[in-house]
Chain A
């Protein structure tokens, strides 16, 4: 890799005549090849490490974000995140690597599309069903209430209660016999 970078520098310093397209492509290829080598020196701050660690859960301790866990294993995993970031990996690549090695449990929401859908869509479906059921029920009750009011004027509450409790009393007495 260093040789490639050296070649690029030499290519740049010699300014050898070349067709523009070929020279451009060669320069691009050399630059792309040189990126990982240059990335070895990317300085990574604690905050950048924590930003990735926060999105991961300790594979050993239950439900503790990796940035907050103080166990030796988690300190080591944070060091590994740093190493991967310093090597030029993006946060997404680091997270994918952790999921591949330790399973879906290390992320706050699964990366697998089916599990992700199961996790995130289900509560909304449940809430929508609950809302529809409640709405329908209230609407039906309201219709029934309106129909009852139209069919016969509402008797005074005391009469209604009397009839209701009389009916229940009779039922109780029948059950006791």
Chain B
């Protein structure tokens, strides 16, 4: 019954999405308001139907309906309820349905919230969002259906089908339950449970700015309306994408057992690419809002962001990452590639059409090479260069090499650590300089005056590092450049609070709070910059100064690393509730003779899957981490091999991520309105009064 409910709901959602496309386009062309309204209702109804389908699958997972092949593939009778719930996105078919649920949720929310303010754009927004949804619903319906069931055919062969084939019967429940697969052990971690939804929220969220941009191009309303309508949607998508990346890094650090959080793997990079272009878009869009410039560029960036989302999804789901040839073998490979190409071509075509008609002219010209507009353009160039450098290393070079030269290559950490650091450092320099530059014209002298204090703070910081023993020129330069961006953010906030304190006599906390309340976008942005600075310091420290050793110890033996002593105490074996067998080593870490932590690195062996999970430990609340992996052991535990990492400043990566999220939330929050006296002062300047009567 659940399979039928889910299947019919997806089928109806697909039909509703197609209807919404036709009705919205016809409504817009014929100026038929009722048709557009009907299209909007159909668009909202798509969400309701996908929700019904998702709930049906969830109930099937929770109630152990193993006849449904998806339930059989991702759970077994030993799976705890919590993991049954998260199994909804544990494999391709379910995660595609979940993807549709989130995208339809975003779409329904945007249709409801922007309906009154953006009536001219709405028909086209409906058409673009529904076209995207129809494509992904089509994938679920025709290629990756999570509601197919197992049947025993008349010839006693097992067949997979949603509806019961003629003459077939249902298999024995006990047989199905006994042979069920269970969730992939790698996914049984908190980071992995929450990481995919965050990433999907980030990915699918960008459909809203994309649809509004396309609507602006299609409707001819090329003012800043689409940007005003989508600023918060873009920030929301960006927050989730950032969270997804941070949690993904944490999961890799805890579970994959290689002592790091970012391996420059193509799957990781596929998520980073839209983030980079999305970040460029968030900056560039400010220029259009303030100065009416970069209209074409902003359109291109939002298209590239969404295009990167679709490409990343295609690359990771189709098998392109493994080999350029394997995507053709995957069921969804070719349709996804075609959709990605079609979306990109149509979007770029629309831009070119409007550009040729002269409708994307900028309202102002650049007047100074040091103006904020110019620096933001440079910032965009850096982000785009990073995008292409990472795209090239992850997909471009391997695909071209395999297709045209016939040689399989991998561009790994060596490539990325050679190519990206200069670009990242340039990004940090601009992160510091650009906020101090004024819109329009800025003289070098004026900019230099604004930079004097942050540069002095940076020099003092670098000197302090030198005195503390940092001798590597690369590390010193890296720390200094990254810290400079943070000092600018801190100093600008201090200057703002000081101005309020001097003018209004407020206390420091009151002045700072008022500052954030009045201009959340600007000062939220500074918090984000501070978060990126903290992340940067963590990345430099943990990359350049990581130490590691691998040694085999007998009970009571010790090893030394980075001033710490680790003693191996004993080895224990245990069976967990879910059936996995755990081998746990007890070790004691001390420094200067004082015990600092007792750690329990372990390996888990799952009964049905020959897979071991390396359990790492992260005991220190401060900045550094002592990371212990259990690599091997003999039966008696008399010889155990440990791989131990000392990761200095690594926890700053997570703390920086938290600061970044807080800053983005502050920036996305609506500004507090100016007090009445201030608004009245504006109206007395001869402009239209805006104060309430």
Identify the A interface with B (CB < 8 A).
45-47, 50, 55, 57, 62-65, 67-68, 70, 103-110, 112, 115, 118-120, 122-124, 126-127, 130-131, 134, 137-139, 141-142, 144-146, 148-149, 157, 160-161, 164, 168, 171-172
- Report if B365 contacts A (CB, 8 A): yes
The reply to whether B385 and A110 contact each other, CB–CB distance below 8 Å, is: no
* Binding stretch for chain A, among B172-180, B335-343, B407-415, B529-537: B407-415
A-chain residues with CB within 8 Å of residue B367 when the two chains form the complex? 142, 145-146, 149
CB contact between B256 and one of A62, A68, A157 (< 8 Å): that residue: A68
CB contact between B257 and one of A68, A104, A134, A172 (< 8 Å): that residue: A68
CA distance A164 to B220 in the complex (A): 13
Known: A62-B321, A127-B385. A109 touches B407 (CB 8 A): no
CA distance A121 to B385 in the complex (A): 13
The reply to whether B612 and A141 contact each other, CB–CB distance below 8 Å, is: no
Segment 603-646 of B: residues with Cβ below 8 Å from A: 612, 614, 641, 643
The reply to whether A50 and B369 contact each other, CB–CB distance below 8 Å, is: no
CB contact between B265 and one of A63, A106, A119 (< 8 Å): that residue: A63
- Report if B171 contacts A (CB, 8 A): no
B-chain residues with CB within 8 Å of residue A123 when the two chains form the complex? 385, 388-389, 392-393, 419
Known: A65-B413, A105-B408, A109-B414. A141 touches B548 (CB 8 A): no
Identify the B interface with A (CB < 8 A).
220, 256-259, 263, 265-266, 321-322, 357, 359, 361-369, 374, 377-378, 380-381, 384-385, 388-389, 392-393, 396-397, 400-401, 405, 407-415, 418-419, 423, 548-552, 612, 614, 641, 643
CB contact between A110 and one of B220, B256, B364, B409 (< 8 Å): that residue: B409
> A-B pairs with CB below 8 Å: how many?
142
Known: A123-B393, A145-B367. A50 touches B548 (CB 8 A): yes
The reply to whether A50 and B263 contact each other, CB–CB distance below 8 Å, is: no
The reply to whether B407 and A104 contact each other, CB–CB distance below 8 Å, is: yes
Highest count of chain B CB atoms <10 Å: which of A55, A160, A168: A168
The reply to whether B423 and A108 contact each other, CB–CB distance below 8 Å, is: no
Secondary structure of the A contact surface, majority rule = helix
A-chain residues with CB within 8 Å of residue B366 when the two chains form the complex? 138, 141-142, 145
A-chain residues with CB within 8 Å of residue B256 when the two chains form the complex? 68
B-chain residues with CB within 8 Å of residue A137 when the two chains form the complex? 377
B-chain residues with CB within 8 Å of residue A67 when the two chains form the complex? 258
CB distance from B109 to the nearest CB of A (A): 31
A103-B408, A134-B381, A142-B368 provided; 10 other pairs, C-beta below 8 A? A57-B410, A63-B412, A65-B412, A118-B401, A120-B419, A123-B392, A145-B365, A148-B365, A164-B363, A168-B359
B-chain residues with CB within 8 Å of residue A106 when the two chains form the complex? 410
The reply to whether A109 and B551 contact each other, CB–CB distance below 8 Å, is: no
CB distance from A39 to the nearest CB of B (A): 22
CB contact between A127 and one of B380, B389, B396, B550 (< 8 Å): that residue: B389
CB distance from B440 to the nearest CB of A (A): 10
CB contact between B410 and one of A46, A63, A126, A127 (< 8 Å): that residue: A63
CB distance from B263 to the nearest CB of A (A): 7
The reply to whether A115 and B419 contact each other, CB–CB distance below 8 Å, is: no
Task: Please name the residue on chain A nearest to B259 by beta carbon.
Answer: A68
CB distance from B415 to the nearest CB of A (A): 5
CB distance from B458 to the nearest CB of A (A): 25
The reply to whether B377 and A115 contact each other, CB–CB distance below 8 Å, is: no
The reply to whether B381 and A109 contact each other, CB–CB distance below 8 Å, is: no
The 10 residue pairs across chains A and B that have the minimum distance between CB atoms: A145-B365, A108-B412, A68-B258, A46-B550, A108-B414, A123-B389, A127-B385, A141-B366, A105-B408, A134-B381
CA distance A41 to B409 in the complex (A): 35
The reply to whether A105 and B409 contact each other, CB–CB distance below 8 Å, is: yes
Task: Please name the residue on chain B nearest to A69 by beta carbon.
Answer: B258
B-chain residues with CB within 8 Å of residue A115 when the two chains form the complex? 401, 405, 407, 409
Task: Please name the residue on chain B nearest to A104 by beta carbon.
Answer: B409
Task: Please name the residue on chain A nearest to B269 by beta carbon.
Answer: A63
CA distance A63 to B364 in the complex (A): 47
A-chain residues with CB within 8 Å of residue B365 when the two chains form the complex? 141-142, 144-146, 148
